[in-house]
Homo-oligomer: A and B are copies of this chain.
Amino acid sequence: MNRLVVQKYGGTSVGNIERIKKIAERIARLRKEKIDIVVVVSAMAGETDKLLAMANQISAIGKDRDMDLLLSSGERVSCALLSMALDSIGCPAISMTGRQIGLLTDNSHTKARIKEVDTNRAIKALEDGQVIVVAGFQGINEHGDVTTLGRGGSDTSAAAIAVALKAERCEIYTDVDGVYTADPNVVPNAHKMNRVSYDEMLEMSSLGAKVLQFRCVEFCKNYDMPLIVKSSLVEDSKGTLICKEDSSMEQPIVSGIMNDKNQAKITIKGVPDQPGIASKFFTGLADENLSVDMIIQNVSDESQTDISFTVAKAEINKATKVVQDLGKLIKARDITTDTNICKISIVGAGMRSHPGVAAKMFSTLSKENINIIMISTSEIRVSCIIEEKYGELAVRVLHKVFDMDKTLVNS
């Protein structure tokens, strides 16, 4: 067996025919080093949004199964085009849809989870000396219906295929040259990290770092698959390596600061304070496949309580409907929503050995008169929900306070 690399190119990287040709040349060069290559592609930039806009013109809530058929078509186009481009420069290639690469998922349309990758056909194609070009983002369920893996799902396709084929590494090509300590558009002193641990990257991805999909990192972590993020627009981009934590190195206390604007809060007032009531809401939301992030429960008087929680902004309407229906049943007093919030998070493996990080974050925000609405923490993360308008300010002051303006040890 040759060495095998799985590469994924995002929408900007395959955004037009010129770029597709450039990528084909890049792949053909790597192929000359006797490396087997599987390439996963996203839809051409803008295509998925165009399809979504058409669906929205028809109906506010399109059927998920149709949505998957609709949205999966974009990746099939870029997949076929890249395969043609490779062949046209003498690099034998074969295009494969999610079904053809054997990517089997569960039945959760629009956010399907991968159950298995049946690699038979892929292995045969690699043995035949072909570069495999895969339509990302999509799989197939037990009924033979097309499913999609959620926005950014091509990253996950790439990771799952890399793991299934025991690739040497999984490379994610995008329009930025790696993972940054903070959004460089907000923090001028933000800088690219050379290395991030899986755990840190998982936290960052779940916090809205769009550079990598959460489940992609999760897959790579679970199977210890080296994951590299780099730019397809720059030659010799070094990128950021996401790998196991390296205990021999000095860890920075905070590696990254994120501002997740994709947050909305729902508050249910006057909920009877009885066992099992709160669980009704969250079971109802889970049944609709809605993810709840932070949850706070306050006792407002002896018999009633208020429950607040956050969901993704895109799901606020669906979630509100579920909560309103259940709220009527249990006679809740009122239900309010707030979409003008954001979640500021600091992430760093170094937090484990440095107490007081959360306190330092709270006091920093407080000094700027930024009110903290909700708090959640993990072993290597502290997150605060604040008013959306303070988001950029919060990121800048935290970046400075945690000494991230200077280049860090591991970068």
Contacts and interface: CB of A to CB of B under 8 A. Distances in A.
Interface in A59-115: 59, 62-63, 65-67, 69-70, 72-74, 76-77, 79-81, 83-85, 87-88, 94-95, 97, 99-100
19 contacts: A20-B58, A51-B77, A54-B77, A55-B84, A58-B81, A58-B84, A59-B87, A62-B87, A62-B88, A63-B87, A66-B87, A66-B95, A67-B84, A69-B76, A69-B95, A70-B77, A70-B84, A73-B73, A99-B144
B63 A83 contact: yes
A95 B58 contact: no
A88 B145 contact: no
A244 interface: no
Contacts of A63: 83-84, 87
Nearest to A50: B77
Contacts of A279: none
Interface in A345-399: none
A69 B94 CA distance: 11
Contacts of A72: 76
Given A97-B146, A144-B99, A76 B79 contact: no
A81 B70 CA distance: 7
Nearest to A74: B73
Contacts of A79: 69
Contacts of A57: 17
A70 B65 contact: no
Each complex incorporates copies of this chain amounting to 2
A99 B72 CA distance: 15
A97 B73 CA distance: 11
Contacts of A31: none
Given A21-B58, A69-B79, A100-B144, 14 more contacts: A17-B54, A54-B77, A54-B81, A59-B84, A62-B84, A62-B87, A62-B88, A66-B84, A66-B87, A69-B76, A70-B77, A73-B73, A76-B76, A97-B146
A69 B80 contact: yes
Nearest to A17: B57
Contacts of A77: 51, 54, 70, 73
A80 B67 contact: yes
Given A65-B95, A99-B144, A144-B99, A70 B59 contact: no
A77 to B, nearest CB: 5
A62 B95 CA distance: 12
A88 B59 contact: yes
A17 B54 CA distance: 7
A32 to B, nearest CB: 20
B58 A85 contact: yes
Interface string A140-163: 000011100000000000000000
A153 B74 CA distance: 21
B58 A17 contact: yes
A405 to B, nearest CB: 45
Contacts of A95: 65-66, 69
Nearest to A55: B84
Contacts of A73: 73-74, 76-77, 80
Closest 3 CB pairs of A and B: A70-B80, A59-B88, A73-B73
Contacts of A94: 65
A85 B58 CA distance: 6
Given A54-B17, A95-B65, A146-B97, A59 B76 contact: no
A77 B50 CA distance: 11
A296 to B, nearest CB: 37
B83 A66 contact: yes
A160 B64 CA distance: 28
